[in-house]
Structure 1
Amino acid sequence: MSTVEIRVVGWCAWHQDAADDVRVIQVDEQGSGRGGVRYACGPCRKRHKLVPLVEQELPRRGPAATAVEACAGLLILMPGMFPLMTAGQREGRNCPWCNEPVDTETGVDLGERHLDRAQTVIHPRACRPCAHREATSSFAHHCRMCERCRQDEYCPDKMPLRRLAIETRS
């Protein structure tokens, strides 16, 4: 039986060319423009001391944060959504995806997000169905991009994503 090696080929934002073994380093949730995701190849990660997003520490959100709240701000990405969001969506009164009204009881706190280009801070909160959809999508994306997950090794980032997807199910 032969084994199949999976190659992740993508665009390295640091040396500006296609490369093997690219990993997500940064998500640009820009205030103007469409935002985006910046990937780096292995040599650029080493040369520039870049840490893949899935290996970065989760932000501390205080002792009252639930498991969902502790990781939602980092794990559910919203690149390029700021220009399309209403004031209610930016302030956490409406879901950023479906615009349904949410509050602290019904919504999932997506964490404080600093948008450097727009020179602003937003506090989005999602409805549970949208949070579930986005968490499930992020989980699937993580499993495709994470070298540990692709090799069926223990991954400390996989479980919080899965838990987030499970806890936000309707």
Structure 2
Amino acid sequence: MSAPATTQEIPREVLHLLSVPSLDDQSEAQQRGAACVWDGQPLTAETAVELGERRHRRLDGHYSTFPRGCAPCVADRAHRALLDHGASCEQCVDNAELCIVGRVLYRLVREGRR
């Protein structure tokens, strides 16, 4: 059995940077968190990375989904987000160690590539 993909909760401001495919592009298993939201690989409690609550609207009100990803896909998306974020974040330019968003994205990249 493998170790959990991530041992810490991902802050909301980082989750926002890890965009997930639209619901129309997801299978039923992806929508309910049984498969990786990006590549569709089956997930277990040990291999899944929780990507937080996502709120959706429909004609009769609101509902939530709780997407999950596999560590390699989360690492890939975190790496992309880190490159975008680091180029536009004043704190990262001054001292990246002080930027919580940059630090969490970096941690996700490292944990996903183990």
* TM exceeding 0.5: yes
- Within the candidate set 70, 94, 112, 2:35 is matched to 94
Q: Is the counterpart of residue 109 in structure 1 residue 67 in structure 2?
A: no
Distance 1:107 1:165, change over 3 A: same
Q: Which has the higher strand share?
A: 1
Equivalences, count: 103
Q: 1:83 to 1:137 in 2, by over 3 A?
A: same
Partner of 2:3: none
Compare CA radii of gyration and give the structure with the larger one: 1
Larger relative contact order, structure 1 or 2 (CA cutoff 8 Å, min sep 6): 2
Aligned to 2:76, which of 125, 133, 136? 133
Report if the CA contact (8 A) 1:95-1:102 is conserved.
yes
The CA deviation string for residues 90-142 of structure 1, in whole angstroms up to 9 with x for no partner, is 11101111111112111111112222x34221111111111110111111111
Task: Kindly indicate whether the alpha-carbon contact (under 8 Å) linking 1:132 and 1:168 is maintained by their aligned counterparts in 2.
Answer: yes
Corresponding residue SS for 2:55: strand
TM-score relative to the length of structure 1: 0.53
Q: Which has the higher helix share?
A: 2
Is the Cα contact below 8 Å between 1:92 and 1:103 reproduced in 2?
no
Structure 2 unaligned spans of 5+: 1-5
Whether 1:75 aligns to 2:11 is: no
Instruction: Say yes or no: does 1:166 pair with 2:96.
Output: no
Gaps of 5+ in 1: 1-64
Q: Cα RMSD (Å) of the superposition?
A: 2.2
Give me the whole-angstrom Cα distance separating, in 2, the residues matched to 1:159 and 1:97: 23
**What pairs up with 1:4-15 in 2 under 5 angstroms?**
none
* CA–CA distance in structure 1, aligned partners of residues 11 and 38 of structure 2: 15
Shift of 1:72: 6.4
- Aligned amino acid, residue 88 of structure 2: M
Q: Would the alpha carbon gap of residues 137 and 79 (structure 1) be closer, same or farther in structure 2, given more than 3 Å must change? A: same
1:146 aligns with 2:89: yes
Distance in 1 of aligned mates of 2:22 and 2:80: 16
Deviation of the 1:80 alpha carbon: 5.2
